[in-house]
Amino acid sequence: MARNHAHTAIHRRNQNTRKALKILLYVEGRNTEPSYFDLLKRSNCTQIPVTVRGHGIGACVDFVNEAVGKYNSLPAKEKAKYKQKWLVFDCDGHDDFAEGVRLARGNGFRVAFSNMCIEYWFMLHFYNHDGTAIPLRGDSHSQAQIDEINKFIKRYNKNNNANIKLYDEDSKKVEEDFFDLMLAIDASTHNHRIVDACQRANEIHQTKKGNGAEFSESVTTMYELLEELGTVQKDKNDNYVLNNKL
């Protein structure tokens, strides 16, 4: 496609032309998170995400313990390269999800978590969802969010004579056109969609924390990681805006 949405996205820049601090990310996924952070690293960060690819998740606590072990085994000189260390994982229906988040925090990690899945974070770029639980589609925790994402892409393609590939529930890889669409300016809000997503995710998360239900569906803290990576920042009114250094 001609990618007629690209001119409204955040401009890509060459990370090699500037110095930046690094943030270490242990992610659960084989495809989704690595592809997403790779695209983000190439264009929209003032801090560089260094992603350690996962192999899927059997239990949240097991993933956390594995990541803690990997980090603790790093030489001191290697650890010193990183400003922060994060874990990125989803609930996906695991009973030990909240336990896993608390364990990670107890070991000094920041956590970008999503309940049910990271596709909820993607969905918030296109929908002002209210944070209520989203019913499973069949036996899949992510399919309902994927369906909503693809519904938006189909509508966008039709209205803009575009040909953005649908989000593939099999590979779950973030393609460049889809990534650009998440960063482009929304015709209704007139904000970059990634800014809308951060604002929405923050409001949902803060409400749930205030209600003592921080980990309950639907919620994501990906916005916290995006702020630390330098993609967004807070303005004087405590609203998210694009980082003025981008």
List the chain domain ranges: 6-235
Give me the pLDDT at residue 93, please.
92
Give me the pLDDT at residue 5, please.
52
Instruction: Give me the torsion for CA of 114, 119, 121, 126, rounded to 10°.
Output: -160
Average pLDDT over residues 130-148: 92
Average pLDDT over residues 165-183: 93
For 97-128, what is each residue's pLDDT tens digit? 999 999 999 999 999 999 999 999 999 999 99
Average pLDDT over residues 163-173: 91
Average pLDDT over residues 159-174: 92
The band of 224, judged by pLDDT with boundaries at 50, 70 and 90, is very high
CA distance 246 to 230: 8
Find where tokens 């909820």 sit.
120
Averaged confidence pLDDT in the chain: 91
Q: How many residues appear in the chain?
A: 246
* Phi/psi at 185 (5° precision): -80, 130
For 5-59, what is each residue's pLDDT tens digit? 544 555 444 444 445 689 999 999 889 999 999 999 987 899 999 999 988 767 9
Give me the pLDDT at residue 15, please.
46
Give me the pLDDT at residue 62, please.
95
Looking at the DSSP assignment, which residues form a beta bridge with residue 114? Answer: 90, 220
Neighbouring CB atoms inside 10 A of 154's CB total: 12
For 186-217, what is each residue's pLDDT tens digit? 999 999 999 999 999 999 999 999 999 999 99
Average pLDDT over residues 150-154: 97
- Picking from 99, 105, 114, the residue whose alpha carbon sits closest to that of residue 27 is 114
* Phi/psi at 212 (5° precision): 70, 25
- Picking from 44, 31, 7, the residue whose alpha carbon sits closest to that of residue 185 is 7
Query: Of all residues in the chain, what percent carry a pLDDT higher than 90?
Result: 81
Average pLDDT over residues 226-237: 95
Give me the pLDDT at residue 91, please.
95
- Picking from 125, 142, 195, the residue whose alpha carbon sits closest to that of residue 29 is 142
State if pTM tops 0.75.
yes
CA distance 194 to 34: 18
- In sequence order, what are the residues at sequence separation of 6 or more whose Cβ sits closer than 8 angstroms to the Cβ of residue 129? 120, 123, 200, 204, 218
Average pLDDT over residues 222-230: 97
Give me the pLDDT at residue 6, please.
43
CA distances from 229 to 12, 23, 48, 78, 170 (A): 15, 8, 7, 19, 28
Give me the pLDDT at residue 104, please.
98
